[in-house]
Amino acid sequence: MAAQSSASVATLESRATQARLSRWRFRNRRWVGWLFIFPWVIGFLIFDVSALVLNFYLSLTSFTVGARAPQWVGLANYERVFVQDKLAGVSFMNTVYYVGLSVPLGMAVAFTLALLLNAEIRGRGVFRTIYYLPSLVPVAAASIIWLFIFRTRNGLLNLFLGLFGINPVPWLARPEWAKPALVLMSLWFFGQQMVIYLAGLQGIPTELYEAADIDGADALQKLLRITIPLMTPMLFFNLVMGIIGSFQVFTAAFLMTGGGPMNATLFYMLHLYNNAFRYFLMGYSSALAVVLFVVILALTLFVNKTSGRWVYYGGT
C-alpha cells in the first residue's frame, strides 16, 4: 500500500515536472533561435574558428606550400616580424597612415553628404542613388578608373588642377603623393556609410528640432547638440567597421602601384600577400596575419571601451 502510494506520488511529481518542462519549452523556445543560426554557427566554426586556430599554429612553423609537414620553429616568425623584417615595419606604418587619414575623412565625407541628402530638396532620391552608385563598383574596376584619374599627363585630376594653374602632380609616381592618392581614392566608397547615416538621421525625432527652434537654436547648435549626439551609435559603428576594413587595405595598392614607388604604398596586407603567395612563406605569413589580427582586435576593444563616454543610445 505504502509502495503503491509512493509510486503514485512519484508519477504525479513526474507529470508535474513534465508539465513544467513543457510550459518552459513553450515559453522559452530558445532552441528556435539556435535552429535559425545553426547554419551560420557551423560555417563560423569551420571557416573562421578552425582557420584562426590553424593560422595560429602555422605561425609557429616554417610551413610552405608542399607535402612536407610543418616544422615547428617556435616564435622565430614573430621575431622576424618585429626584429628582422624591415618591410613589415614599413608596411605597418604605411597602413597606420592610411587608416589614420582614410577612416576620419571617409566618415566626415559620408556624414556631410548624408546631412545634405537628408534635406528637403527636389530629386533627393535621385541624388541619393547617384551618390550611392560608386560604392557598388568593385574595387578592381574602381582602381582602373582611378588610374586614369591619377595619370600625370592628361589625368582627370591634373586637368582639373590645371584650371587653377597648378602643375601636374605625379600622384602615383612620387612616394610622397602615392599614399594620399590612395586615401583620396578610398573616399569614393563612402556610399555604404552614407546610407547608414541617412537611416540614423531619419530616426531622429523632429520634435527635438522643433523644441530647439522654439528655444532659438541656430543650425550649427542643432547639429552639435542634437544631430551629432543622436548619431553617435552610427558614428561608432562606422568607425569600428572603418578601422577593421582600412587595416586590410589591399586591392587598390596591389593593382595600381604594386606597393611602390619606394614602398610608399606597401600596405601590411600586400606585404603579407607577397610573403604568402609570391614567396610561399606560409608560416611567416601566418605570423604576420596573427599580428594584424591582434592589432585590429586591440583597437576595436579600445574603441568599444571608450564608446561608453561618447556614444549615446538614448534613455541610458
Helix, strand, or coil (residue 14)? helix
Nearest approach, Cβ of 131 to another protein (angstroms)?
28
The DSSP secondary-structure symbol of 61 reads B
The C-alpha angle with vertex 119 and arms to 118 and 120, in degrees rounded to 5, equals 120
Which residue lies nearer to another protein by CB, 18 or 112? Answer: 18
Query: Looking at beta carbons only, is 174 or 225 nearer to another protein?
Result: 174
**Nearer of residues 106 and 170 to another protein, judged by Cβ:** 170
What minimum distance in Å lies between the beta carbon of 270 and another protein?
A: 12
**Nearer residue to another protein within complex by CB, 118 or 251:** 251
131 Cβ partners below 8 Å, 6+ apart?
A: 113, 117, 190, 191, 194
Q: Which residue, 266, 238, 229, is CA-closest to 250?
A: 266
Give the nearer residue to another protein in terms of CB position, either 73 or 184: 73
Tell me how far, at minimum, the Cβ of 298 lies from another protein, in Å.
29
Between 61 and 227, name the residue whose CB sits nearer to another protein. 61
Q: Residue 230 carries which side chain, given as an amino acid letter?
A: L
DSSP output for 179-218 = HHHHHHHHGGGTHHHHHHHHHHHHTS-HHHHHHHHHTT--
- The nearest distance, CB 87 to another protein, in angstroms, is 8
Cα dihedral across residues 299, 305, 309, 312: positive or negative: positive
Query: At closest approach, how far in Å is the CB of 57 from another protein?
Result: 17
d(CA 130, CA 141): 17
CB of 247 to another protein, least distance (A): 21
Q: Which positions touch another protein (CB under 8 A)?
A: 18, 22, 25, 30-31, 34-35, 38, 42, 46, 64-68, 140, 147-148, 151-153, 167-168, 170, 173-175, 260-263, 274, 277-280
Shortest reach from residue 106's CB to another protein, in Å: 26
Residue 107 Cβ vs another protein, minimum distance, rounded to whole Å: 30
3-state class (DSSP) for residue 126: helix
Contacts of residues 73-76 at CB distance under 8 Å and 24 or more positions apart, as own/partner, are 73/283
Q: Residue 184 or 264: which CB sits closer to another protein?
A: 264
Q: Are 77 and 59 in contact (CB under 8 A)?
A: yes
Cis peptide preceding 261, ω within 30 of 0: yes
Cβ distance to another protein smaller for residue 45 or 108: 45
